[in-house]
Every structure is written in C-alpha cells, then in structure tokens.
Amino acid sequence: MRARHYIILFAIALSLFGCGGKAARPTEEVAHPAFSGDSAYSYVARQLDFGARVPGTEAHDSCVLWLTTQLERFGAQVSVEEGYMSDFAGEKQRVRNIVARFGSDSLPKRILLCAHFDSRPWCDEDEEAAWYQPVPAANDGASGVAVLLEVARQISLMTNDKRPTIGVDIVLFDCEDMGTPRFLGEMDRQDTWCLGSQLWARDASLRGRYEWGILLDMVGAPGATFFREYYSEQMASPYVQKVWKAASELGYGHIFRNEQAGAIIDDHYYVGQALGIPIIDIIHLDEHTGTFPRWWHTQQDDIQQIDRATLQAVGEVVMSQL
C-alpha cells in the first residue's frame, strides 16, 4: 500500500473539518449508480488465486495477463507500459503499468482512475518469522484493482447514450510496494516506493490530459473509514469536497469521514507533483489511531479483510463521478 510505505502523520486532528462523519442516511431517495460489490469481491478472490503478485514471479506474470484480458473484454483500449526503476537496493526492477482507456480521444475531458496491483515481498509489519514471506495483498492492492475492474465492467454494459461523457482511463500501477523493508533498519527513502507511478509520471505528454483523478488504496475492509488525506487536500481540494459530498448523499458519510487525516506518500503524490493532475487518494486509515490497520503488511491481509459492502460503497462513489 503506500507509503504506508512511508507515512508522515501531521497531527491527525480528526475533528478539523468538524463533521465527525456520522452523517445520517439521506431522507430523500437517492439513485445509486450501478455497481456490484459481489462482482468486485470475486475479482479480489481471483487475484488471490494467483498467489502473491510479487514483481518477477509467475503469479505476477499471470495476473498481468489476466488483468489485460479482462479489461480488453470490457471494451477498453489496453496497453502495458514497461520500463525499469531502481529499488531500495539499487537493483533494477521491471515495471509493467497496465493502462485501459474508455472513450474517444475527442472527448474534451478525461478522468484518471488508478490503483496498484503488485504485492509486497515482505511482511515487515508482522512477527519476525513472517518477515520474508510475501503479503497476500487482498486489501492492500487487490481491493482497489477489483473496484476498478467492476467500474470497467459497468461501463461495458452501458448503452451508448448512457456512457460517461468524460473519457475514463484506468491505470493499474506496478511495483508500488517495493519500498525499503522495515526490518533492515535503514533509512526508508520515500522514493523507493511507488516505482510504477514514478515511471508513468515521467511521460510529459500526460500533462494536461486529465481534468482530475482518483487513487484507490485499501478500499475493501470491513468497517473501513476514509478520511480526507492531506496531499489530496493540497493538490485537489475541490475534488475532495466533490467526492465526499457524493458519498454523503449516497448514504456513506459514516465511511467517508469529513475529517482531515495526515499526509501519505502514495501513488497520487508522484502523479500530482510531476504532472500537475489534481488527484485524490481514497485510502483506509484506522479511525482510532489514524494509522494503517493492524493487518497492513502482514500475513493477515487476506480475503478475511474484504467486505462486499465496503467495495459496494467505494464503487458507487467512484461511479457517481463518471
């Protein structure tokens, strides 16, 4: 997950925006966008069937092929953008970002939807015996990918007159979770994380292509809570407000808390800083501690950390923006 990898928690004043997030369900009937939490759940399970999707493994290769095939089936123009980035040890890592485009290039506006699909090679937040085991990465990776696959499926089911009037690009970043293992006891450089988004953001031709964007990270846990992340507020405050307002209107104000959290170095940071794209991060933080959940970067990040209702809520909120 991200800098989960490297997190700078500025005072997580969870009352900064005063709403408390315990918003009442809307009194008026609101039309909910088409989305299937059951379908998204099945996409999480399918990714886990491959095993841990650690770069350089057969499971990772198989997942890349499956993801590209699924997105093509849903009618997207799909490409795999490859390159190499140095990891924390100075070794070259092969990076494969999957890019799926919906809607003609003639559309005047485009939105960027993204997540990462790789698994962390080390459970460095676990007991010592598990340090050199890969993270199953059900929530930290697979959940965001699953929501975006279901978004793609829903777009494919729309009739032409119902399709989004904005172009939709789905980008699945690779090598997000390759940052310095905590057990090495070395200074964790933030640029050892998010290698896929750093590579992608080097393409200057992308500047100006997107009106705005959404990053999904750890969006499937039971009882998940999503706060207004600091860098998202700095780079894209109007869109944070727009998304959290939509969530409240859909009855998900208890999940999308209208309260500010700390600053997280995640894929959105590099995309926003390098390309100037206003982009927000929807990422789960524990409502009591303001930090990542106890299963983060451990063997416990398995299918038990996935809840269909949470996937449904996040998926509807994303669909409401198209």
Residue 1: pLDDT band (50, 70, 90) is: low
Would 2 be classed as within a structural domain? no
> pTM of the predicted model, to two decimals?
0.92
Residue 81: phi and psi, rounded to 5, are -95, 120
Would 102 be classed as within a structural domain? yes
Would 263 be classed as within a structural domain? yes
Residue 187 scores a pLDDT above 90 = no
Q: Which of 59-68, 230-239, 247-256, 284-293 has the lowest mean pLDDT?
A: 284-293
Q: How many domains does the chain have?
A: 1
Would 68 be classed as within a structural domain? yes
Classify each residue of 237-276 as buried b or exposed e, where b means 16 or more C-beta atoms within 10 Å of its C-beta.
Answer: eebbeebbebbbebbbbbbbbbbbbbbbbbbbbbbbebbe
Q: Which of 4-8, 235-239, 244-248 has the lowest mean pLDDT?
A: 4-8
Would 33 be classed as within a structural domain? yes
Residue 139 scores a pLDDT above 50 = yes
Would 1 be classed as within a structural domain? no
Cα–Cα distance for residue pair 271/114, rounded to 1 Å: 10
Q: Which of 4-8, 30-34, 157-161, 268-272 has the lowest mean pLDDT?
A: 4-8
Would 304 be classed as within a structural domain? yes
SS3 at position 243: helix
Residue 213 scores a pLDDT above 80 = yes
Residue 290: pLDDT band (50, 70, 90) is: confident
Q: Which two tokens stand for residue 63?
A: 């997942």
H/E element, 270:
helix 267-275
Rounded to 10 deg, the angle between the 37-49 and 58-73 helix axes is 150
Residue 17: pLDDT band (50, 70, 90) is: very low
Residues in the chain, overall count:
322
Residue type, 319: M
Classify each residue of 86-122 as buried b or exposed e, where b means 16 or more C-beta atoms within 10 Å of its C-beta.
Answer: ebbeeeebebbbbbbbbbeeeeeebbbbbbbbbbbbb
The string of pLDDT tens digits covering residues 85-137 is 999 999 999 999 999 999 988 888 999 999 999 999 999 999 999 999 999 99
User: Residue range 176-192: average pLDDT?
Assistant: 87
Task: Supply the CATH number for residue 98's domain.
Answer: 3.40.630.10
**Segments forming the whole domain that contains residue 137:** 7-319
